[in-house]
Structure 1
Amino acid sequence: MKTVIFDMDGTLFQTGTILEPSLEEAFAVLRERGEWQGTAPIEAYRKIMGVPLPAVWEALLPDKPEETKREMDAYFLERLIANISEGKGELYPNAREVFAELAAEGYRIFIASNGLVRYLAAIVEHYGLDEWVTETFSIEQTVTLDKGELVHMIKEKYGVTEGAVVGDRLSDIRAAKANGLFAVGCRFDFAQEQELKEADAVIDGLPELKALLEQVPAKG
């Protein structure tokens, strides 16, 4: 049975729809305490979109104490989940329809993301993705915080021998190749052309995926 492993942020979920308000809410806490001036560093976050949350705070608050970074990490996660639950986010166009098509063709669907368990669960639940997704895997489940290890976990648990990893960043592409899978790059919001050059194929929208996968030769 063929398998498709999807990244979440910037691939299935339009993270930017809740990113700015959630980050602004987090930095408002720092402003109120006199520990930050000006608006939240949205552009700086966009450049590192897709990295695990702890790494976000190392980048955005390099000079702050570890306690402050942990506090902001926890608060930001709560605001992300609240905004998802309130329907302020969006999937990329046709994501649910593409899932339905792939499932109807016999593909197993997984999610492998650098997002945290509760964050991913909020998206899956709000949009009813578990109708098609066999299981969602979070970077929290790994030791190394490496996407390649996460994809390997899926291969081992479900006996995956062929399939594709679909994602917008280099970590997704390299995770696919490290595990002998087809790497599909997504030229979406946070994608970088230099990174996409390493993919086996690139799509500009999720509806292109099914036809592309049909052209991938099966392993002999």
Structure 2
Amino acid sequence: MTAAGAGGTFITFEGGEGAGKSTQIRRLAAHLRAQAGRPVLTTREPGGSPRAEAIREALLSGLAKAHGPFAEALLFSAARIDHLDTLIRPALARGEIVLCDRFADSTRAYQGAAGGLDPAVLASLERVVVGPTRPDLTLVLDCDPELGLARARARQAADGEAGPDRFEAEALAFHARLRAAFLAIAAAEPGRCAVVNATLPADAVEAAIRAVVAERLPRLAGGHLEMAGGDAA
């Protein structure tokens, strides 16, 4: 049961650019739908609801960058409020499993550790915006920033995208601070967070994620979740 008191389960995926969060969310969702026997909702931040998706476009285009990390944090918070109210909390109240690509930890990392915003300011925003709706489990997909950025560029080329977004375009040092920030969050909250080696092939990452979910949240499948390929990672 989530800290929000709902009957659902809230799992978030965090990590730097190109860590493979979207791929692994799709894979875990398919697995849980087959194993858990209840609805699985996949969503993302910023975004997930119509209003939040509109804010996403402004943020990733770089529209708010000139106004600094506090302005960006406020926009992320506005998107998160709508996302929580219209999508996440109702799904949790229905007893669904919610898998979210990024959540409040990304604001801590991007606008806080990498952007230089005072952690106390972010903590205040988080208390107001997130309240008791905390993830049951946060999977931090960790990989070297250079590898992640190379993956992001390859994805953009394959998808015919114009180029890097507002955050992908930042210097390597920014992405190194992001990685350190996510690892620090995981170290500070080991009961909620698990670090997964995202440099491995996608199948191996999937197996590692299934193992973490089976250990941390056995209730999702009556105490048993099979590993990828039938064997424990």
Q: TM above 0.5, one fold?
A: no
Q: TM-score normalised to the size of structure 1?
A: 0.38
Q: Whose helix proportion is higher, 1 or 2?
A: 2
Q: TM-score normalised to the size of structure 2?
A: 0.36
